[in-house]
Structure formats: structure tokens, C-alpha cells
Structure 1
């Protein structure tokens, strides 16, 4: 198949991201989760195969079970819908360039899962109340916090204080995690993911479940695609 030029791929990715916003969400904004979970972070994910079955498979492929079982961490858990969407859109890009597509999660090299998952994990326990306020329209004033993930990737955390009627910042609070390859205090990060359920407490940390409606696994579709190509996806 004839390879397509870069502008075609950029246009394709833009269309895919627009369509991704129309997917049915697995989570709705529900704020605080109820109670604690009597088990590790990994055991919690395994206990919710309706949301995290494929996520657990990627963790196992990346050989990160000990991190989620034995270390104190905060995990922003992307749902299976995010993984499925990312693979589907990556396949469209692979097909457009004449490369073999991904048939199953096992077709993606473990290195890709390891590098992407490292963006969602933080050392220690970070609860909703530990994260500073962010206002995307006044980012230079309320800018949340840039911090490094488990793998030292620069990420951004912030809590939006919603308005209630005419009263500013007194409504419900919503946690956001963002990928910030070029951090700055003027405009904020580019790849922003809202959290649907917060403060789920397994025995070795905390889980915040990311809203899957608009989130693509790894935050950047191009980076996921490029890593797949780099590690040999699409070539027989």
C-alpha cells in the first residue's frame, strides 16, 4: 500500500480525536468514591474487570505488578475504553501507512506499555485535598502543580473548583491529570484528562479513576503510535 504523507496523518489524528469525544463513557463524574478497599492497588483493579480487565493485562505485560502491589503509590487508572480507543486509532494510522495492524494487546511490545503506564503512577499517596487548585482560564494565578511521575516524566495535577451560581469556586471540585512535555506557567499543559472517581484507597496507596470519555491511553496518540513503530509494531 502506498504510504501517506505526514499532513494526511496529522489530519487523520485530528479527526480521530474529535470522534473520540463522542464515545460513551464508562465513568460519570461522581466525585469521592466510597470507603477503602481491603487489598492492594493491583487487587483493586483485578476486582473491577468491568473497567480494568485490559489495563491489568498491560500491567502484567509491562512487569509492573510489584510496583502496584508492594510500593506505596498513587495510580491514575485509565479505563479499558481508553486503551481500546488508542489501539483502534493507532491501527487506522498503521493501515494508512501500509503497515500491519495490532490484533491484540499482546501485539504491542511490553516496552510501550511500560513507558506509557509510568505516566499514570506517582510515588506516595496523593489525595484530592493534597492537589492545588487550577483554573484553566487563570492559569498563571491558579496553576495547580507540575510534578514528576514514577518514571520521572513531567506531569501536571490540578483541582478545578467549579462555580455555584454567581459564587465563584464554591462548587464541586474535580481532579485533573495532564501530560506536560513542555511545562510552563502561562498557558498550561496540552494533554488534559479529567478524573471521574477519586480517593479510592487500597492498602498500599490511592487510585483515581480517569474519565474515559475523551482520554486516550498514554495521553498523546502520536507518541503511542511512534513508540509502537520504534519497537517494531507493523513490520513482519
Structure 2
């Protein structure tokens, strides 16, 4: 009888716990950091080193270090090193019919347009975005990125033990211009001048 009671209590703890908002995690540190987004990426070069180089080449450091007069706070859907490496290894420059061998080979305007397309104004946490209408490509929150393209950012809840709507919560970015739907792997990395939502390592860097 005692074993049965313990089993029931344990099941209830697991069941109740599964309703919390859990996000997929790439290992990047979540939470608040007392520094700018630029300083945060400098401290974590293992994940952001190539991203830093693309931002520098685009001439957009001020957007991330808090000195951009028009955008004091931003939200960055951040492509990590893996995403940028995929772009380098898979993208062919049509003019020269060759692959980019380094970030310095990528045209400045492409770097600029791509980075701006991953940024929206103001600081947004995952819970600030609405849920998708299940089974559709509608719902969520529509925002325009700094490249001028509309994005649909939305949350979903998966299944747990066959029960829909109580499982892990996931955040996605849907480019309404290009059709890309990208998984947020690690969310709510919050700095003094904005928030970073790290994109999945399977994402190949492109324009959103």
C-alpha cells in the first residue's frame, strides 16, 4: 500500500511539473547578464565568434553595444557559429562561381542585410510572443525586422505522455517574406540593452 501511495505521489509531481514552460537548450547560458549584447558575445566566443565577425564586417557593432541612437534596446534572433559555417560551406558566389572561403569574402551588403533581418526593435522575452493557432500557419506575433521584412514569432506547446498542450514550450521565427521557419534553441538570454534568442545549430545563416 505504501509503495502504491509513493508511486501516485511521484506521478503527480511529474505530471504537475510538466506544465511549466520549458525551452530547448543548446547549452548557452540563459538568464540575465549585467553587460551589453556585444560584451556577452565577446565573453562566449565558442558560440558567437563568427557572428561577431559578420557583425563587424556589416558595420553594425553599435546596434549591439548600445550606442545606436535609434535602437537603444533590441531583440536578436542570433545565428551561432555553426549556422554561419554552414553558410560558408554551402553558398556559392554566383558572380565568381566559387564558395566563400571566409567571412571576409562575403559582400558587406549581404552581411548587413542578413544581420538586420535577425533583429527587431525593443526587448522581447519569449512570453511576450503569442501562441500559434495549432495546426495552422497563423497566430503568434507579427513584427518587422530592421531589414524591413515581416516576421511571425510564435510559441507552441507539445505533447507530454500523449496529452497535447502540456509539454515543452517552443519558440519559432517564421519569415513571411522568404518562408523560413526557424527553431529557437535557447531563449531569454537577457542583457542590459536587449535580449538574445539563440537559433538552432541546424539553421543555415540566411535572410529572414
Contact (CA 8 Å) 1:29, 1:211: kept in 2 or not? no
Per-residue deviation, 1:139: 3.3
Residue 24 (structure 2) pairs with residue 29 (structure 1): yes
Per-residue deviation, 1:135: 4.7
Residue 97 (structure 2) pairs with residue 89 (structure 1): no
Q: Which residue of 1 aligns with 2:170?
A: 174
Q: Which residue of 2 aligns with 1:64?
A: 60
Per-residue deviation, 1:219: 4.8
Show structure 2 runs of 5+ residues with no match. 1-22, 67-71
Contact (CA 8 Å) 1:119, 1:155: kept in 2 or not? no
Output the CA distance in 2 between the equivalents of 1:59 and 1:198. 20
Q: Which residue of 1 aligns with 2:124?
A: 126
| Rg (Cα) greater in structure | 2
Output the CA distance in 1 between the equivalents of 2:134 and 2:114. 25
Per-residue deviation, 1:34: 3.5
SS in 2 for 1:75: strand
Q: Select which of 197, 210, 216 maps to 2:204.
A: 216
Output the CA distance in 1 between the equivalents of 2:34 and 2:107. 32
Contact (CA 8 Å) 2:90, 2:99: kept in 1 or not? no
Output the CA distance in 1 between the equivalents of 2:157 and 2:130. 10
Instruction: Spell out, residue by residue over 1:7-30, the C-alpha distance to the aligned partner (whole angstroms, 9 max, x if none).
Output: xxxxxxxxxxxxxxxxxxxxx922
Q: How many residues align?
A: 180
Show structure 1 runs of 5+ residues with no match. 1-27, 183-189, 221-236
More strand by share: 2
TM-score (norm 2): 0.79
TM-aligned CA distance change 1:84 to 1:130, over 3 Å: same
Q: Which residue of 2 aligns with 1:22?
A: none
Per-residue deviation, 1:166: 3.5
State which drifts further: 159-168 or 56-65: 159-168
TM-aligned CA distance change 1:41 to 1:88, over 3 Å: same
TM-aligned CA distance change 1:58 to 1:167, over 3 Å: same
The alignment's C-alpha RMSD in Å is 2.3
Summarize the alignment of residues 69-84 of structure 1 with structure 2, pairs less than 5 Å apart: 69-70=65-66, 71-84=72-85
TM-aligned CA distance change 1:49 to 1:33, over 3 Å: closer
Output the CA distance in 2 between the equivalents of 1:146 and 1:210. 18
Per-residue deviation, 1:83: 0.8
